Structure 1
Amino acid sequence: MRDTRSRLQLKLDAAGRLFMWNWMSNRIPHYLVSEYPKSGGSWVSQMLADYLRIPFPRNVSVWPLAKKSYLLHGHHPYSPRLKNAVYVMRDGRDVMTSWYFHCLFENERTHPGFVDRHRQTLGLADPSDVYGNMPKFIEYTFASDSRRRFHFTWAEFVGGIDHDRALVVRYEDLLTDAEAEMRRVIECLVQESPDDQRLHETVERFSFKNLASRAPGAENRGSFLRKGVAGDWRDKFSPEARRVFHQLAGTELIAAGYEASDRWLHEDPEPHNAIV
């Protein structure tokens, strides 16, 4: 459903969520799911809230739920003082690809004017030329958009997580075995093994196939759930896009385990069309 709240209401709701996130999660058993955008956080939130049978308020005020247990999803850096927090990570190159489509093509979740603003700011002659535009988009996202919207970049988000203390989920592991990953998450949060049948039903209910009504890999640029795969960056990143991303986040990409070295910079790009 498209978000139709006014800009004032968006700001008021955001302030309420920030208060609940920072001050209430340690007092009431709230659950927090944080991600850099387009990393799979919404998916994790839906499955976790469904299994735990708690509210997951989206695009609404959280104040009516202030004294109840519920789940909040947001874009916040790691904090060691927060309880019941899950941090979702994804390969930053796939994040850039997914964020490109989210910013430059309308979908059912974008607020009116969101896409127009990004298109005007970037001044792209043809937004459909993903391959040609990606270097400029990556620079824009790291230097301007991330700073203004979230106050941190993808590199800062993944680089700031204390993996010895944080509960971390990788999008790629969810694609491989969502049940196993969610079982691990639930066990860590509630300190007991989940019910296998209930967990299976939750994962099935929120599978890409059921939510998007198409198989993973079948693209719909007009949907928030565009493609649902890992590695989509490979035919969207030109050599220049690879160089730009490496310059801005290459160290964090390797530290996060998505590459063993910078050899990926020099691999031959997969075949692509000029318009993809």
Structure 2
Amino acid sequence: PTINFDVTLAAVYLVRNPLDVAVSYSQFAGVPIDPIIALMAEPSGIGAGNEQRVYEFMGSWSFNVASWLSVPHRPVIILRYEDLLAAPERGFSRLASFLRLKPTPDQLRRAIEKSSFDVLARQEAAQGFVEKPETAEKFFRAGKAGQWKDVLSPDQIETIVAAHGPMMMRFGYVAESCGA
């Protein structure tokens, strides 16, 4: 309800493997991983808001993703974070096409460069970043996919897959026949 579709032409939604989300969100919130895993599965959702931000209801990770898959009256492009890291040209080209933009190869290259994790992290180090919570050392922490493999325990992985397996399968984050 906080998004006014009367003045919204379309939406861009970035989805990220919830195994990595748990690691990243734990650092972002300054909270241990296990409570974050529980919060990400909570159907009543994660809410946030303060003097600078409107209250935001996100629901569980699966609910949040599903809510963007089912917007019937506006175009929505869903991009996997991992794909943008692995093949930024392909992802940015899809995005530009969705937005009905026709960038030159040089414009596309510059857009990718200026929005790269390294550039954004350097900007944050030099100028700060308004969305960084006080609980986090920095907003642009690592920007990598697959960190969960070195951080999460087998039990934590199992808990996340049990809570989000069907949606994870839909995005290729987990195979139908195995864990993560």
Q: Which has the higher contact order (CA 8 A, sep 6+)?
A: 2
Higher alpha-carbon Rg: 1
Structure 1 residues 213 and 145, CA, compared in 2 at 3 Å: closer, same or farther? farther
Structure 1 residues 205 and 156, CA, compared in 2 at 3 Å: closer, same or farther? same
Residue 264 of structure 1, CA deviation: 2.5
Matched with 2:12 is 86
Residue 261 of structure 1, CA deviation: 2.2
Residue 256 of structure 1, CA deviation: 2.0
Structure 2: which amino acid aligns with 1:198?
Answer: Q
SS in 2 for 1:264: coil
Report the count of equivalent residues: 157
Residue 163 of structure 1, CA deviation: 10
In the superposition, the TM-score normalised over structure 2's length comes to 0.74
Provide, for residues 175-220 of structure 1, a one-character-per-residue CA deviation record: whole Å limited to 9, x for no partner: 0122221111111221x53221112112112212222239xxxxxx
The question of whether the paired residues in 2 share the 8 Å contact of 1:178 and 1:203 is answered with: yes
Residue 262 of structure 1, CA deviation: 4.9
After TM superposition, the runs of 4+ consecutive aligned structure 1 residues lying more than 2 A away are 133-137, 140-149, 157-160, 162-166
In the superposition, the TM-score normalised over structure 1's length comes to 0.50
2:160 corresponds to 1:251: no
Provide, for residues 125-156 of structure 1, a one-character-per-residue CA deviation record: whole Å limited to 9, x for no partner: xxxxxxxx433331134327834342421111
2:113 aligned residue (204, 227, 237): 204
Q: How does 1:74-153 map to 2 (within 5 A)?
A: 83-104=9-30, 133-143=32-42, 146-149=45-48, 150-153=57-60
Structure 2: which amino acid aligns with 1:254?
Answer: M
Matched with 2:96 is 186
The share of aligned pairs that are identical, in percent, is: 25
The question of whether the paired residues in 2 share the 8 Å contact of 1:86 and 1:166 is answered with: yes
2:142 corresponds to 1:235: no
d(CA) in 2 for partners of 1:246 and 1:138? 10
Structure 1: which amino acid aligns with 2:158?
Answer: R
